Structure 1
């Protein structure tokens, strides 16, 4: 095996702990083949923690968006009404309602009684 330029390839290693967990990036490594990269990833990673699955991806096959493509992700129309802000204000409003001072007439009206 020669040590010429381009002999080693860069790989990215992703794994997930269980069948239901998502894949997460763990580390990068260099290896001459994808098969050897898998063996190296298993040796370096699987002995440290339980792993359900591993992905080995050659870095040159990962595609990222260019600046022009990122700009195309912006919304073309103004539809802010679709983005709900939630109902967080209701808790505060309910608290204010509960804190109101109730007068005696109002309390008695709930019971259907009259003040003597």
Structure 2
């Protein structure tokens, strides 16, 4: 089998596992397999020997959509300071300052 036919035959799959019910899925490793059934079988053979888990996912890498550069920039621009509680400690001081300025007028 040549490199070109091998790359057309095998797909890259990402393997995720869940340790117990209610815990999050965690990425474990990537593997090459000809189809999703073989990918699941290879993931079971490799992963179940290492540690127990309750759920196992295999996802073809090209079926995972990632954010592009423009979308990542959009997330950085979102100012959500109003959701943070660090500013509330200053409210009493600012309120007193405002009242004293109003009294001076």
Taking structure 1 as the reference length, the TM-score comes to 0.66
Q: May I ask how many residue pairs the two structures share in their alignment?
A: 85
Q: CA deviation at 1:18?
A: 0.3
Q: CA deviation at 1:20?
A: 1.3
User: Matches of 2:47 and 2:80 in 1, distance apart?
Assistant: 45
Secondary structure (helix, strand or coil) at the match of 1:48 reads coil
Higher helix fraction (1 or 2): 2
Please say which structure displays the higher CA radius of gyration: 1
1:18 equivalenced with 2:11 (yes/no): no
Distance 1:53 1:67, change over 3 A: same
Q: CA deviation at 1:43?
A: 0.2
User: CA deviation digits over 1:84-112, x for unaligned, max 9?
Assistant: 12889xxxxxxxxxxxxxxxxxxxxxxxx
Q: Which residue of 2 aligns with 1:62?
A: 64
Q: Which runs of 5+ in 2 are unaligned?
A: 90-105
Q: CA deviation at 1:57?
A: 0.2
User: CA deviation digits over 1:33-83, x for unaligned, max 9?
Assistant: 1000000000000122111000100000111111111112221xx552431
User: Matches of 2:12 and 2:26 in 1, distance apart?
Assistant: 17
RMSD: 2.1
